[in-house]
Amino acid sequence: MESTQDSGRGAGKVPLVPKKNMAGEPSGNEDSGKAQFKIDIFRGWCKCCGICAAFCPRQCIRLDEEGSPQADCRKCTGCGWCELHCPDFAISVRKIEDAGRTTEDRA
Amino acid sequence: MAEATKLIHKYLRHDKKFPHVWCPGCGNGILLGSLIRGIDRTGIEKDDIVIVSGIGCSGRLSVYVDFNTLHTTHGRALTFATGIKLANPKLNVIVIMGDGDATAIGGNHFIHAARRNLDLTAIVVNNNIYGMTGGQYSPTTPYGAMAATALYGNIEHAFSIAELAVMAGAGMVSRGTVYHAAMLDDLIEKAILRRGFAVVEVMSHCHIQYGRRNQMGDAVEMLRLQKEAAVRAEKAAQMPAEEMMGRYTIGVLADRELPVYTEEYEKVRKSAKEMMQLVGKAESGDLKAADKRRKREAAGEADNAEI
């Protein structure tokens, strides 16, 4: 599971539809032919307002006990609603091909 | 979509303190994003744009963006902007005001800027309350709503800013909400590119000062209310009046070609210059003649003195 930590964290309590392609399984990605997306949340600027979690059309973002958004990118279609509406510019949605680079960037 | 965030960062002043000053979930942050995207789409250089803001929560917006910016006194953002535009008509001047800023203390400036059709873009952020100063009712607080200075409900009736601007004669008037952010990008882009006074009323929310007092919930709930209350102008025209009660139209409400103040002013300057040149020629002709006469007389006097 070289999938990102974000998706791992969210997965615990979210009853996700256990379907074909889990993000991070390379074969799944190629087979489905669907673009995979990655939601990055910049914690330094996030104020935990909850707008992203409330309006995500695929419920990819959940709030944890502290109200902090946790992203599970498996159902993300890359619509970018959260990115457009984040009042603090703390969300960035990008295609999975540069997902490796993203995690390094964040660290 | 990561480009969207990259784009925002291109226009932010990173030496300022981030995260910004606004409350969690505030519509001003969403508007700031829309404004930057709108400006970027117009392709105008950073140096050719001036952002002028007044006082209030929305007034803080000019601090964070990397353009020529001016943070002015309460209600007078439009007057400062008028000065800038007339001094250097090449600049694109965008004015950010709150509802109290634009329609209460700066109400007169607002209607007269619209009447003159000054070549400005005015973005009025309407959150129905004076948020920064503690929740006093503003000219856009609806009748019956609670506020810090209306503990038994507001007894005054609200202005409708966009309709006011249409009646006052603004060239282009539109209304958007922060919920419909993608549409807001378009409206702001159109308003900037439009010659003449272009008003964008942005329906925002203040869940801290207004929502809490009126049991409207948090930022999320108030965004939902915007989604329900907003009706596109094309659709609203076909809806019966009863259904439009408590709702508002979004989209472009007025778009008309009217003489633009800065151009008219330039014409006046040109005609005045021509007139002055004519007068100058005539006067200088007279002066030369008078000068010659005086010289001749002086020479004559000198001759006489010698004799």
Confidence of residue A13 (pLDDT cuts 50, 70, 90): very low
* Interval A15-56: pLDDT, tens: 444 444 444 444 334 445 678 899 999 999 999 999 999 999
Nearest to B30 among A47, A87, A91 (CB): A87
Say whether residue A85 is in contact with chain B using an 8 A CB cutoff.
yes
Q: Tell me, what's the pLDDT at B267?
A: 94
Q: Tell me, what's the pLDDT at A107?
A: 44
Q: Do B1 and A50 touch (CB under 8 A)?
A: no
Q: Tell me, what's the pLDDT at B78?
A: 95
Question: Mean pLDDT, chain B, as a whole number?
Answer: 92
Share of chain B above pLDDT 90, in %: 82
Q: Do A49 and B25 touch (CB under 8 A)?
A: yes
* Interval B59-99: pLDDT, tens: 999 999 999 999 999 999 999 999 999 999 999 999 999 99
Q: Which of A64-68, B25-29, B175-179, B299-303 is predicted with the least confidence, judged by mean pLDDT?
A: B299-303
* Interval B208-233: pLDDT, tens: 999 999 999 999 999 999 999 999 99
Q: Do B26 and A44 touch (CB under 8 A)?
A: no
Q: Are B101 and B110 in contact (CB under 8 A)?
A: no
- For helices B27-42 and B2-10, the axis angle rounded to 10 degrees is 90
* Interval B253-281: pLDDT, tens: 999 999 999 999 999 999 999 999 988 88
Share of chain B above pLDDT 70, in %: 97
Share of chain A above pLDDT 70, in %: 60
Compute the CA torsion angle A43, A44, A48, A50 (nearest 10 deg): -60
- For helices B77-87 and B107-116, the axis angle rounded to 10 degrees is 30
Q: Which of B11-25, B44-58, B232-246, B281-295 is predicted with the least confidence, judged by mean pLDDT?
A: B281-295
**Is the per-residue pLDDT at B197 higher than 50?**
yes
Of B73, B67, B59, whose CA–CA distance to B124 is shortest? B59
Residue A86 vs residue A30, higher pLDDT: A86
Q: Which domain holds residue A56?
A: 5-14+21-106
**Is the per-residue pLDDT at B124 higher than 90?**
yes
Q: Are B254 and B173 in contact (CB under 8 A)?
A: yes
CATH number of the CATH domain containing A79? 3.30.70.20
The Cβ of residue B68 has, within 10 Å, a number of other Cβ atoms equal to 17
Chain B residues contacting A via beta carbons under 8 Å: 1-2, 4-5, 8-9, 12, 18-20, 22-30, 32-33, 178-179, 181-182, 218-220, 223
Q: Tell me, what's the pLDDT at B291?
A: 78
Query: What ipTM was predicted for this assembly?
Result: 0.83
Q: Tell me, what's the pLDDT at A32?
A: 58
Q: How many domains does chain A have?
A: 1
DSSP B192-257: HHSSS-EEEEEE---IIIIITTTT--SHHHHHHHHHHHEEEHHHHTTS-TTTTTT-EEEEEEEE--
Q: Which residues, in sequence order, are bridge partners of residue B71?
A: B53
Q: Tell me, what's the pLDDT at A30?
A: 42
**Is the per-residue pLDDT at B119 higher than 90?**
yes
**Is the per-residue pLDDT at B125 higher than 90?**
yes
Q: Do B19 and A49 touch (CB under 8 A)?
A: no
State the best of A42, A46, A51, A96 to mutate against chain B, taking most chain B CBs within 10 Å.
A51
Q: Are B142 and B219 in contact (CB under 8 A)?
A: no
Q: For residue A84, which residues of chain B lie inside 8 Å, CB to CB?
A: 4, 30, 33, 181-182
- DSSP E strand boundaries for chain B: 49-53, 68-71, 92-98, 121-126, 129-130, 136-137, 172-177, 198-203, 230-232, 248-255
Q: Are B138 and B104 in contact (CB under 8 A)?
A: yes
**A44 by DSSP, 3-state: which?**
coil
* Interval B27-61: pLDDT, tens: 999 999 999 999 999 999 999 999 999 999 999 99
Residue A81, min C-alpha distance to chain B (Å): 9
Nearest to A93 among B2, B9, B26 (CB): B2
Mean pLDDT computed over B129-157: 94
Q: Tell me, what's the pLDDT at B202?
A: 96
Question: Mean pLDDT, chain A, as a whole number?
Answer: 73
Place of tokens 């001047």: B93
Mean pLDDT computed over A66-95: 92
What are the C-alpha distances in Å from B124 to residues B97, B130, B300? 5, 13, 74
**Is the per-residue pLDDT at A9 higher than 80?**
no
Q: Tell me, what's the pLDDT at A31?
A: 44
